[in-house]
Structure 1
């Protein structure tokens, strides 16, 4: 198969060189400093997204309680709608796998996915068999397996047609567990937001590097952390959402398939990554003879965002020739390579990633 490097070269050859030559005649923009990259990323991307997750999660307990109290179709729909909001908000922070998300394993606790071995289902069955009401006590669920603490476990309870959530006795303990999970998600997302925003938290760490900082000694180190998160996000979307459609040996169910959210989750993932990419302004460091990279990246984002992630066209795009999963996979690996080995190098950032060629 063609390597990502060859894919990039072939795609570059297809771009109109006249446009590149014209853009090269314009004075280049002033490069955005590493400190400014970090500040913009925190203020315009990270804090708004962790706050959105916290706010949406805060509505889950009431929605779960309404279903368990009434069992009505309207309450079930309201819970699904709120669950959708939380999941799509989570897609915007999933790849920030450092700081508050990394601490105490919060990421796995919020969303235990991928789950190729079915831990969520197995651990949830064991918990339900125990029928221990102490699980409702504050902090009790947090001592259980991460597989039963977050969104996938709640989704499983929401979509169990054999024992739906409701006011009946058969659903009583299932509702005890569902309420505990919803409360736990609120706790976790609140801790993530607080971890970023509190005095001396991760926002302060990134914004104030130096000799006394135990994590970041320079603005460059802070910027590298965020750029690495962006690269990780592209990798996760490529390897976990798209690659299973390309490589039959990869046995991995799409994210939040029970709720029909696999395509919206792809769109939220790609849209969030694009937003963070734009916020970082890495392209301002490109010299005139490398401005073609901007056009290549712009075209790649258009391809990714015009797809539904599963071989079809996004609703807003209505393309007759949507990108195949193979094309998406190659494009994402090309984008990952471009950010890690071209744009970051131009911006004088050493992210520590290698060639990162795809399959």
Structure 2
């Protein structure tokens, strides 16, 4: 009896250290990261229309402050899902409808000005804005209206049509984020598609393909954060406006992006597949996260930095690319996953 208990204990200990199956990896990523973050974006967006309406009715400092807070919460929530460029976010260009950034050619400003000049009240009708360019449908367009010091949103006549547009944009953001959430969670939606791979599944033929999709989204996030937020600080020849800088949200966007990526990294548990001779990667990744999380994304030090010194933007940029390479070429291979080309390769 004693030997049976010892054997059972040893078996349990071994089982506890076994890496998760590919399907379990996907389940954890969905339940602990992807779905909660998508829902958080939907919830944050739902607070925008009433906040815009309050500013347009009263123009009071309190209403403006409340709108600033709701907008910041929505942008922060969006930063946590921006790199999930597959499934419901990819369909019908929803990511661009929510946030057309980067925008190096200024499409948002130019196309928004055209709509404001038209003063077409029909744009306020349900579904009308959805037929327009993505540049005028989402958070960047709303930010421009909110930050226009010459004609601020409010009850005065010059701002009347701007308020019509701001409210239409806020409602459209709710519509799109709700569609994304619904696309993930409805029966037969993208969550079910990822958790039920097989020959009849038009996207994922096996659990490994579902797991690859999740890991690729992490790689996309690490790439875009490095290339779009850090690289302009490393290379002064790159002229790219930081995300939501007009609202002072560059640092919040970076922090939310990195926090979400770290959570996804922990959720997929790729390090559980490492053999003893590859255990050094665990220490390397811990040091990398400390480095990445010790800066504020704007060339300064993060409020809760864990490193004694402040890393340079160059070091953070290199560390991000190193993390991407380790995940794509070492950790994924150890987990039996083949990561192919992703959409940001070669940028």
TM-score normalised to the size of structure 2? 0.93
CA distance in 2 between counterparts of 1:250 and 1:350 reads: 33
Uncovered stretches (5+) of structure 1, i.e. residues with no partner: 1-25
CA distance in 2, matches of 1:249, 1:197: 43
Q: Does 1:78 align with 2:74?
A: no
Partner residue, 1:100 = 88
Structure 1 residue 31, shift from structure 2 partner:
1.2
CA contact (8 A) 1:333 1:357 kept: no
User: How far apart, CA to CA, are the structure 2 residues paired with 1:123 and 1:55?
Assistant: 28
- Is residue 121 of structure 1 aligned with residue 109 of structure 2? yes
1:142-291 → structure 2 map (5 Å cutoff): 142-291=130-279
Matched, 1:56 2:41: no
Q: Which residue in 2 is equivalent to 1:305?
A: 293
Q: 1:249, CA displacement in angstroms?
A: 2.3
Corresponding residue number in structure 2 for 1:7 = none
Confirm or deny: 8 A CA contact 2:290 2:306 kept in the other structure. Answer: no
Superposed displacement of residue 29, structure 1: 2.3
Larger relative contact order, structure 1 or 2 (CA cutoff 8 Å, min sep 6): 1
**SS of aligned partner of 1:44:** helix
CA deviation map 1:283-337 (0-9, x unaligned): 0000000010011011100111111122211112286631111111100000000
The number of aligned residues is: 333
C-alpha distance in 2, partners of 1:319/1:29?
A: 30
Deviation at 1:41, TM superposition (A): 0.5
Contact 1:340–1:353 under 8 Å retained in 2? no
1:340 aligns with 2:328: yes
Q: After TM superposition, give the deviation of residue 248 of structure 1 in Å.
A: 1.9
SS in 1 for 2:245: coil
- CA distance in 2 between counterparts of 1:322 and 1:127 reads 45
Q: CA deviation at 1:342?
A: 0.6
Q: Can you list the C-alpha shifts for 1:240-283, whole angstroms capped at 9, x where unaligned?
A: 00001111222100000011000111010001000000000000
Q: Aligned partners of 1:353, 1:126: CA distance in 2, in Å?
A: 38
Moved over 6 A (4+): 356-359
2:39·2:181 contact (CA, 8 Å) conserved in 1? yes
* Shift of residue 352, structure 1, vs aligned partner: 1.0
Q: TM-score, normalised by structure 1?
A: 0.90
State the SS of the aligned residue for 2:337.
Answer: coil
